[in-house]
A and B are shown apart, each in its own frame.
Chain A
Amino acid sequence: MTPTAFKEIEDPQKRVEWLVENAADLPAQTRIAIQVSRLVNQRNTSASQVANAISSDQVLTARVLKMANSAFYGAPRRVSTLTDAIVLLGMRAIRDMAMAVSCQDVLEREVKGYSIRRGDLWRHSSCCGFAAQLLAKRARYQVAEEAFVAGLLHDIGKVVISHSLADEFVEITRRSLEEGLPYTEAEREVLGFDHAEIGARMTERWNLPPQLVQTIQFHHKPSEQPEMSPLTQIVHLADVLCMMLGIGLGGDGLRYELEAGTIEALHLTDEDIEFVLSQVSEIATRDD
């Protein structure tokens, strides 16, 4: 089916199915990252097993090492091998890095429909992962690493929508501005679905864990998730904070709502929020 024929599909659910069916496959490096994730989550996995899995892909290895030496992680000294990185930063940190860098190619693209410049969605996503991890620690959420990955992938649906439906964004933006709608509502009015839903269906197809899929689906409306999830609230808040910092903003700007009660539900204070804003601002430098 051509994109023109796609636009003739009227049923929004069928449009979602078409988009997901025709979206790119899971990047090969992400497959390895998922494999690494499984290894790390098993008992008795050794550092060398994790290092071996990652080193099956040279580009992935180089990227993990680059990230291990970046301001994100602040290793106490220069890290030159995977084993070194695991010893210094821990297996879980390496698992998250592998997941992060494996998605970099997809997230680094220009996202035309949203007027997001090349590299900016990656900046937004990686900072959101970092912010989510900080918030998770402050909120005493037990698995802060999950928050990192969820923060990283929350907007992956934007890439797919923008690629297939670039023309519709003039109308989405117009409705959001003129009718005073949050951007996701304008997306639903024009397309019949929003970027969060597409992201969820994509990651479901990639067999990512259900909790992660749900977090992506409800990251703009945590209260609509059937079972309330602190992870979704954390990613929702992290996303809002990164928008407030202007990180990777597109034409949709800050036209998203912060759900009332999110901060209170996570038992966070205004000081926690300012602390996270302050920390994220320090690592969010541009590469260009």
Chain B
Amino acid sequence: MAVMTNQATGDGISVEMAEIKVSTRLTDRLIAYGLGACIGLCVYDPVLRIAGLAHIVLPARQPSPGPAKPSNMFAGKFADTAVPKLVEEVVRSGGKKSNLVAAVAGGAHIFSALGGSTSAPSRLEIGARNVLAVTEALEREGIRLIAQDVGGSHGRTVTLKACDGTVYIRPIGSDEVLLTNLGKAGS
């Protein structure tokens, strides 16, 4: 089940590739482990304290996506559809769209000359294209992007705490650091 509203269990909830998870339980932490070029998109309603996280893999669905999958399976896979779906799920769980704020992590690139250019990324720069696609989709939804930790050639784990909207980044092999506090972003 790729779209899940967690109300039954507490603490660390892993959000796998292509998954979307939403939590209304204040003890929960939504976690996307080991992001490479993928994006961990955190969305938070600081008033109603509802948290959502999507683990996005690719910028957009290809014209020929292969065999059809049930509509909710892998709902978080493509940025163009994952962003509205995540917003929809947070609202379905009681959040208010106009309250929502976001943070983005991931979008790393393979070590090489790639990734440093300022022009439009080439097709194989999946990380940079993911960042761009998520940013554009957030703009379309009218969701304010508060903070981001993107790029580089390292993996990272992102954690969103449902109780206060704090977002932590742990670069693999290093210590966890606070990225932002989405809970205070609305004020």
Within 8 A of A (CB), among B57-76: 57-58, 62, 64-66, 74
For A246, list chain B residues within 8 Å (CB).
Answer: 17, 33-38, 106, 108, 155
For B124, list chain A residues within 8 Å (CB).
Answer: 258, 263, 270, 273
Q: Check A245–B38 contact: CB distance below 8 A.
A: yes
For A253, list chain B residues within 8 Å (CB).
Answer: 36, 108, 152-155, 172-173
Q: Check A243–B36 contact: CB distance below 8 A.
A: yes
For B58, list chain A residues within 8 Å (CB).
Answer: 274, 277-278, 281
Count A/B pairs, Cβ under 8 Å: 113
**Closest residue of B by beta carbon distance from A253:** B154
- Bound together, the chains give a CA A173 to CA B66 distance in angstroms of 40
- Bound together, the chains give a CA A273 to CA B126 distance in angstroms of 10
Q: Does B112 touch A at the CB level, under 8 Å?
A: yes
Within 8 A of A (CB), among B8-54: 14, 16-18, 33-38
Q: Name the distance in Å between A107's Cβ and chain B's nearest Cβ.
A: 16
Q: Check A282–B74 contact: CB distance below 8 A.
A: yes
Q: Check A247–B34 contact: CB distance below 8 A.
A: yes
Q: Check B153–A254 contact: CB distance below 8 A.
A: yes
How many B residues, CB 8 Å from partner? 36
**Closest residue of B by beta carbon distance from A288:** B14
Within 8 A of B (CB), among A230-272: 240, 243-251, 253-258, 263, 270-271
Contact with B along A51-95 (1 / 0, CB 8 A): 000000000000000000000000000000000000000000000
- Bound together, the chains give a CA A115 to CA B123 distance in angstroms of 30
- Bound together, the chains give a CA A183 to CA B114 distance in angstroms of 16
For B133, list chain A residues within 8 Å (CB).
Answer: none
Q: Check A244–B17 contact: CB distance below 8 A.
A: no
- Bound together, the chains give a CA A251 to CA B57 distance in angstroms of 21
Q: Check B66–A275 contact: CB distance below 8 A.
A: yes
Contact with A along B154-165 (1 / 0, CB 8 A): 110000000000
10 pairs of residues in contact across A and B, judged by CB atoms under 8 Å? A120-B34, A173-B173, A240-B110, A244-B108, A246-B33, A246-B37, A251-B172, A263-B124, A274-B58, A281-B57
- Bound together, the chains give a CA A256 to CA B153 distance in angstroms of 9
Q: Check A255–B153 contact: CB distance below 8 A.
A: yes
Contact with A along B121-164 (1 / 0, CB 8 A): 00110110000000000000000000000001111000000000
- Bound together, the chains give a CA A263 to CA B126 distance in angstroms of 15
For B66, list chain A residues within 8 Å (CB).
Answer: 275, 278-279
Q: Does A284 touch B at the CB level, under 8 Å?
A: yes
